[in-house]
Copies of this chain bind each other. A is one copy, B any other.
Amino acid sequence: MSKEEKNAVYIGRKGTMNYCLVIVTIFNKGENVCTIRARGRSISKAVDVAEISSRRFLPEIIEIDTVNIGSEELEGEYGMKTVSTIDIVLKRKTAK
């Protein structure tokens, strides 16, 4: 299990600020990296969480490292369906 997977935050139906709080807590514990993951309709919320965490809550401490999008096959009610996914990696800013 990589460090990124260990600190994965999966975006679901909770409020945006709940996820921001999780991320702030992860970095306050001393972790250096955290991945925000979302699928389908939650992708917009994932971007909000990344932006609010890095620009409003911890602007001096973390920054957006990489953003990747992809697709996943999920079993739906009427067979397989494809959903879009996003992975946003946040990392601790390196000391200058």
Residues of A within 8 A of B (CB): 40-44, 47-48, 50-51, 55, 64, 67-71, 82, 84-86, 88
Q: Which chain B residues lie closer than 8 Å to A71 at the CB level? A: 51, 55
Q: Which chain B residues lie closer than 8 Å to A51 at the CB level? A: 69-71, 82, 84
Q: Could you tell me the distance between the alpha carbons of A47 and B89 in the complex, rounded to whole angstroms?
A: 17
Q: Which chain B residues lie closer than 8 Å to A64 at the CB level? A: 69
Q: Could you tell me the distance between the alpha carbons of A83 and B27 in the complex, rounded to whole angstroms?
A: 24
Q: Could you tell me the distance between the alpha carbons of A48 and B50 in the complex, rounded to whole angstroms?
A: 19
Most B CB within 10 A of own CB, among A55, A84, A86: A84
Among B48, B55, B69, point to the contact of A47 (Cβ < 8 A).
Answer: B69
